[in-house]
Chain A
Amino acid sequence: MRLGTVRFSEAVLKEVEALFARYPVKVNALLPLLHMAQRENGGWLQPGWDSYIAELCGTTLNHVRGVITFYNMYRTSAPGKYHIMVCTCLPCGLCGGAEVMEHLEKRLGIHAGETTGDGMFSLEEVQCLAACDQAPLMVVNEDMQKRITLEQIDRWVEDTRAKKA
């Protein structure tokens, strides 16, 4: 463990101070703080950040780890450059979501929860995203692609791979 070796930049620390000012006690800001740490570090909580965050808001490492593991959005391993979320919940799952998931798994050669060997794509199966009227959908990083077809997915994967080459 690399305790004490990570920290926010001075600019981000100013943001942290502003965040703390909006809560009665610092630890209340734990969720937004963890989001900030992910945002600043390639979309995941790299080693050492849990204890740094614990120290920043005055709580224990165990508390922070409990929170990180409880919520779906905190990651303890690196996501792909393109993190893909597919909703397979009800009703999306019955309106093409399941097929989209299956297709992506085959196309990328990984299962949900995994990252391709080249670090380009990671795939996540998610529950209802409050956009069920747009089923089937996939979210790439923050961009929601609505009523997507399998052909569009193929084209997107090809284009994205070509961009890298």
Chain B
Amino acid sequence: MAEEKLLLLKNIRQQGYGGDYASYKKTGGGAAFKKALTGMTPAEVIETVKESGLRGRGGAGFPCGVKWSFMPKDLPGPDQKPHYLVCNADEAEPGTLKDHVLMLGDPHMFIEGMMIGCYAMRSTHGYIYIRGESPHAIRRVQAAIDELYKAKLLGKNILGSGVQLDLTVHPGAGAYICGEETAMLDSLEGKRGLPRSKPPFPAQSGFNACPTTVNNVETLANIPFILTEGPKAFAAFGSENNTGTQAVSISGHVEKPGVYEMDMGHNLKSILEDFAGGVRGGKKLKALIPGGASAPVMRADEIDVPYDFDSLMKAGTMRGSAAIMVFDEDTDMVEVANRTIRFFNHESCGQCTPCREGTFWIKNMIRQFGDDAGDEALLSLVHRAAGNIIGTTICAFGDAVGGALQGFVQKFPEDFRNHFQS
């Protein structure tokens, strides 16, 4: 197996690491928050995160420091609105499991990142939105927060600085769309999770119409390192414009599925072969989806590329949440398309006509191929219907469905032709 670069999983990879606050502290944990609170202004923290080049690990890859700088700079006073930082721990993109590994194995790391973020954005209350289907993760993170209250690192007048900070775990209730940040805010407000039209962006009007930033678990887990070791040390990992390491989830037909940490820009083929042990049972690779169900599929001959945001975009797909799903030579891509569209149809929030209707009708069309009742006209109709969802919807879910489905048709038309009626 290739050597991991350990920044996020450095504690988790230690045998016997408990993940409680005492263990975390022994590894130097907590120093970054203390440094920020006692030695840096909020503006300095944001500048440091900007310099590191850290890009959001939730899917879109937006620069984290830049996003933080969109929050109003003034201190929320009596007549101003409170600020919020919401941690996106919904992790529902098919194939993605790295946030769960981080939350369960070393919850204090991302929580410390979140506390630093709250300080930088002058938020006195942060919410961690964890999907309801993961009661074990909810309990684990809640226990970590309880420890911090006990240690007086949360609550009023933390470390004598006068700063107040509360953190609350908020359980979701089973809806993939609540991973989309504005749907998440509606859900946090006690509503159905419907994505909002932007603008206004959450930094102007987010949770309860107050300035809000949403960050992914892994994004926040990088923050303590950036503060203690400095932005340059962070940028020494990865490649230009794609700095740091990444926690990559690999699943499907591989020998060793799981989560591995490596440089941003590590070769995709090497991730499959050197980390995940290659295709299971000595079989040949047929295809892989490089960034969760929302990312267009790649053929086996296309995967010799650096694995990062920019390179995969150039390759016509996306890194997304860094979830690589691997399919061996025996896989029927019609079945992969079928599972994909069933997922999207089940999870569409139904607000936009192209997404609501499109996912329904495409699901039925793909089912016809499953029943060996397809033909050339139906195949091009799938492609056209998928294209009609792209760019016509409120949230990026629509683009994801359209791109993913078009990908199957473009890359594997022969699989669909095998299901034409004879």
For window 51-85 of A, CB contacts with B under 8 Å fall at 57, 59, 63, 66-67, 70-74, 85
In which size bucket is the chain A interface? 35 or more
Q: A91–B172 contact, CB under 8 A? A: no
Query: B-side binding surface: helix, strand, loop or mixed?
Result: mixed
- Bound together, the chains give a CA A135 to CA B171 distance in angstroms of 24
The residue in B170, B173, B187, B340 that gathers the most chain A C-beta atoms within 10 A of its C-beta is B173
Pairwise interchain contact B96-A32, C-beta atoms closer than 8 A: no
Of A27, A95, A142, which one neighbours B136 at CB under 8 angstroms? A142
Report Cα–Cα, A22/B191, bound state, in Å: 17
Cα A24 to Cα B325 in complex, Å, equals 41
A150 within 8 A of B: no
Q: Does B258 reach chain A (CB closer than 8 Å)?
A: yes
Q: Mark A88-111, 1 if CB is under 8 A from B, else 0.
A: 111101110000000000000000
Q: How many angstroms from the CA of A132 to the CA of B170 in the assembled complex?
A: 24
- Chain B residue contacts of A74, Cβ below 8 A: 173
Could you tell me which residues of chain A, from 17 to 42, have a CB within 8 Å of some CB in chain B?
22-25, 27-32, 34-35
Tell me which of B96, B193, B347 contacts A130 (CB under 8 A).
B96
Q: List residues of A (118-139) whose CB comes within 8 Å of B's CBs.
A: 126-135
Contacts of B310 in A (CB 8 A): none
A27 contacts B325, C-beta separation under 8 Å: no
A31 and B173 form a contact (CB under 8 A): yes
B78 to chain A, nearest CB (A): 15
Q: Flag whether B175 is at the interface (Cβ < 8 A).
A: yes
- List of B residues within 8 angstroms of A126 by Cβ: 133, 174
Question: Which of B91, B136, B170, B326 interacts with A31 by CB under 8 Å?
Answer: B170
A residues 127-159 near B (Cβ < 8 Å) are 127-135, 142
Given A28-B189, A130-B97, A132-B96, 9 other A-B contacts at CB below 8 A? A25-B208, A31-B171, A67-B192, A73-B132, A73-B133, A90-B339, A127-B347, A128-B343, A132-B325
Interface residue ranges, A against B (CB under 8 Å):
22-25, 27-32, 34-35, 57, 59, 63, 66-67, 70-74, 85, 88-91, 93-95, 126-135, 142
